Structures are given as C-alpha cells and as structure tokens.
Amino acid sequence: MAIKMLGISASPRLKGNSDLLLREALSGAESAGAQVEYIRLCDLNISACVECNSCYETGQCRIEDDYQMVLAKLLEADRLIFATPIFFMNVCAQAKILIDRCQCLWANKYVLKKSLITSGARDRRAMVIAVGGTKGKKMFDSVRLTMKYYFDVLDMQYVANLFINKVDDYGGIKKHPLAMKEACRLGEELASFAKPPPKKPIDVELT
C-alpha cells in the first residue's frame, strides 16, 4: 500500500519560499511512490483555539470550521511535511493557529488517555521545512521546540528538518538549487517504510 503523505503549507505567500520547497519535497515523495496531498492553510478557514477546554471532556474540538477536515487528514497520514516561514523567530501565525487547534489531540492523549490514531501500530513520521530571511544562531530553536511537542501529540516521530537561512525575497529560493535538491531528496526518503526512523531529527541547515 502506498504511503500517505500530507504536505501542509503555512506561508501566507502562494508559491513563497517554504511553499516551493514543500512542493519539491512532495514531488520527490511522489516519485518514490507516495500518495501525496497538499494543503495550503491560507486557502482554509481555521479560527484560533478559544480555550473553552470542552475537548478535555469530549475529546473533540467544538469549533466547526475547516480544521475538522484537516484533522481527519492528519489522523490518516503516514507522513507529514510541515512548511513554514520564520516569523519573529517562530512559525508563522497560520501555522500556530493550526497547531493550537490540535489541543484536542493533547486532551485525548494526556487527559482522556486515548489515541485518535486507530488503525493499528502506525509508523508515522514528520518533517519540518522552515525558511528565514536572515541568519541567526538561534533562528530555528523555537520552531524545533514547538514542532517537537506538536508531533508528539500527533503521535508522529520527528525525523528531519530542512532549515534555510538568508532567503527573503519572494521566490528567492529558486536561486538556491541545493535547497531545492535537498527538499526533493528528503521528501523521497520520507516516502519509505524501509529505513527505521533516526533517534534524533536529521538536520539539514543551508545558507
């Protein structure tokens, strides 16, 4: 059976830098036989978590919007590639809104002690793509931490990062062939069940 790979693009810029890398990674995965799906958060209507905490009792988010559809895809996926620009040293707001809405998964796992990921023992893995306009020593620290906890509630192993520094202009990533190549390679690698997941996320950081 083909691996189901979901790509989530959080950038507000259509065909922005992180979005183009995500598309490249998904095409690498597709060429390796994965069944890929691409979602762009800006095309969807997802409002922010209101901290009503009803999910602590029901296990479900009570806000009816496009999050419910994204959640179904997140639960079904074997692989996730999450792409975001760096905004103020972290993921962008669109990404954070989706992440916060997944509090219902946290409630299921840690309050209600049940898993929404039902179909057997699943080998679920996730990777992050992030692009920042400058170069700073700590530029990806917050992303790393946020995504570590996010992938934990998704019951996905955090297997790789593709972090790109100093690409700011719209579409500037097209002038960075190595970044595009690495995105394709990592997408292709992610599309396999063959290799066991690494103990720590593999880091590819390019300038």
- Count interface residues toward ligand FMN (CB under 6 A): 18
> Of 13, 73, 122, 174, which one interacts with ligand FMN (CB under 6 A)?
13
In the complex, least distance from residue 23 CB atom to ligand FMN, rounded to whole angstroms: 11
In the complex, least distance from residue 169 CB atom to ligand FMN, rounded to whole angstroms: 7
CB 27 within 8 A of CB 183: no
Question: Per CB under 6 A, which region of 52-60, 81-89, 114-122, 193-201 contacts ligand FMN?
Answer: 81-89
In the complex, least distance from residue 153 CB atom to ligand FMN, rounded to whole angstroms: 24
> Does 24 participate in binding ligand FMN (rule CB under 6 A)?
no
* Token pair 């400058």: residue: 134
In the complex, least distance from residue 83 CB atom to ligand FMN, rounded to whole angstroms: 7
Per DSSP, the residues of 118-155 read: -SSS---EEEEEEE-SS--TTTTHHHHHHHHHHHHHTT
Q: Which amino acid is at 189?
A: E
> Does 207 participate in binding ligand FMN (rule CB under 6 A)?
no
Identify residues 164-183 at the interface with ligand FMN (CB under 6 A): 167-168
Sort residue 168 into left (φ over 0), alpha (ψ -120 to 50) or beta: alpha
Phi, psi for residue 121 in degrees, rounded to 5:
-75, 120
CB 79 within 8 A of CB 124: yes
> Of 3, 19, 104, 109, which one interacts with ligand FMN (CB under 6 A)?
19
Question: Per CB under 6 A, which region of 46-54, 72-80, 82-90, 106-114 contacts ligand FMN?
Answer: 82-90
The distance from CA 199 to its chain's CA centroid, rounded to whole angstroms, is: 19
Using a 10 angstrom Cβ sphere, with 0-12 exposed, 13-18 middle and 19 or more buried, the burial of residue 196 is exposed
Identify residues 102-161 at the interface with ligand FMN (CB under 6 A): 131-134, 139
Q: Which residues bind ligand FMN (CB under 6 A)?
A: 11, 13, 16-19, 85-89, 131-134, 139, 167-168
